[in-house]
Structure formats: structure tokens, C-alpha cells
A and B are shown apart, each in its own frame.
Chain A
Amino acid sequence: AQKITQTQPGMFVQEKEAVTLDCTYDTSDPSYGLFWYKQPSSGEMIFLIYQGSYDQQNATEGRYSLNFQKARKSANLVISASQLGDSAMYFCAMRAVFGNEKLTFGTGTRLTIIP
């Protein structure tokens, strides 16, 4: 079974600062993918970044980067130079590459950017 844990229910960060959102996971699958989604107050789910378990390098997408530490089973999202529009719920998710491709989500972190 897969489990995603996000231990920060809420975070407040000053505009223009960097922020790290924590995500740890547990799985018995040897190959898997990790995803981060953003959900603004409008409710839409926006895909941000993907990391494969066998990728050698940490994923980056613009201001988003993923600090992937496989041995520690963590996949933290780093947002650089935060903006007011980054205020939203952030969800970490994972899915096995083979077999049951159920997509499992964590409970989310509500990020608020302070001007």
C-alpha cells in the first residue's frame, strides 16, 4: 500500500522568500512517480512537477524544484521567490509505474504568501 504524509497543514511565508513544502511517502513498489499539484481557491487542480523514482537528477520547472531524497523517502517541493499568486493548497501524490496505478494524495499544505 502507498501512503503520502504532508505534516504541514498550513504555512505563512513572506513574499519573495523561498518556501519548502514537506512530503514523505511509503511504498513497496520498486518504481514509482511523485507529483505535486496546486489547488487555488478556485478549486482547479494544477499539475506542477513530476519526479521519477529512478531519475538521477532532481526535477525543476521554472520556480518549482523537487528535493528528492530516495533513501529518506522524501520529495519536498521548493518554491523560489514566492509570489502572492502562490497562495493555495499544495498536494503531494504518488503512483506506481507498474501494476496498480492508483494515484494516492497526501492531505495537503495550505500556503499563504504575505505581502
Chain B
Amino acid sequence: GAGVSQSPSNKVTEKGKDVELRCDPISGHTALYWYRQSLGQGLEFLIYFQGNSAPDKSGLPSDRFSAERTGGSVSTLTIQRTQQEDSAVYLCASSPRTLGTSEAFFGQGTRLTVV
């Protein structure tokens, strides 16, 4: 596709349920990033993929959060047993691996609301 695609755009879930957020990066982009942004706040790094491996997952806030990437393309961020503090916009970005000099392209985000 033309840009980074995230689905769903909005998700309302009940506390305690599991959710899956999907990111479809720009074709050919080897780097993929997940961030979380609470209302009016900055971007909190969650995890970074290079191909299918995750060299840095230091930002995952708890073991309820996990992410995977398959085929060097689509990535899924899974949140188990959701809590109200998980409510935020989850942003995905992708970048070609050009020795770190290329900007990252962002999706429109998934707004997660835990009720």
C-alpha cells in the first residue's frame, strides 16, 4: 500500500479482555516500531523490529504486552487482560534500513479504550 496501515482505527474493549492491534508497514520497509501515546503526551517506545526479530523490546510495559512480526511485514501487538491504564493511541511506524538515516513513516494509529 501507499502508507502504513493500522487496524482497527478504534477499539473499545472491556477490562480483562485481550486485544490485537495490527500494523501493515510500507512494502520493503525492514524496520517497524510500536509506540504508545496517551492523551496530550509524548510517544512512549514499546518495541522495535528489524525484519522478524526484535532487537529492542525494552519498552513493553509488562508481560501482558507482546508483539510479533511475520514474513518481515505485518506486525501484531497483543495486549492480554487489558486494564484501564492501557487506554491510549497505539502508533506504528516503518522505515527502510538505510543505516538509520531515513525517516520513519507513521500510521494513523489505533485508539484503544478500555472500559
With A44-B106, A91-B42: A103-B101 Cβ-Cβ less than 8 Å: no
A87 to B27, CA, bound (A): 32
Tell me which residues across on chain B come within 8 A of A12, comparing CB atoms. none
A27 to B74, CA, bound (A): 30
Q: Which of A37, A101, A105, A107 contacts B31 (CB 8 A)?
A: A101
Tally the A-B contacts, defined by beta carbons under 8 Å.
Answer: 61
Q: Cβ of B14 < 8 Å from any Cβ of A?
A: no
Instruction: Give a binary string over A101-114; 1 marks a CB under 8 Å from any B CB, 0 the rest.
Output: 11111111000000
Q: In the complex the two chains form, is B50's CB within 8 Å of A103's CB?
A: no
Chain B at the A interface: mostly helix, strand, loop or mixed?
strand
Tell me which residues across on chain B come within 8 A of A97, comparing CB atoms. 99-101
A104 to B33, CA, bound (A): 10
Interface size of B by CB at 8 A reads 25
Candidate in B56, B100, B104 with the most chain A CB atoms within 10 angstroms: B100
What is the distance, in angstroms, from A95's C-beta to the closest C-beta of chain B? 5
Question: Which B residues from 74 to 115 make CB contacts under 8 A with A?
Answer: 89, 91, 93, 95, 97, 99-101, 103-106, 108-109
A97 to B100, CA, bound (A): 4
Tell me which residues across on chain B come within 8 A of A47, comparing CB atoms. 103-105
Q: List 11 extra interface pairs beyond A45-B91, A101-B55, A102-B48, CB under 8 A.
A: A32-B100, A43-B109, A44-B106, A47-B103, A47-B104, A91-B42, A97-B99, A100-B48, A102-B55, A103-B93, A105-B42
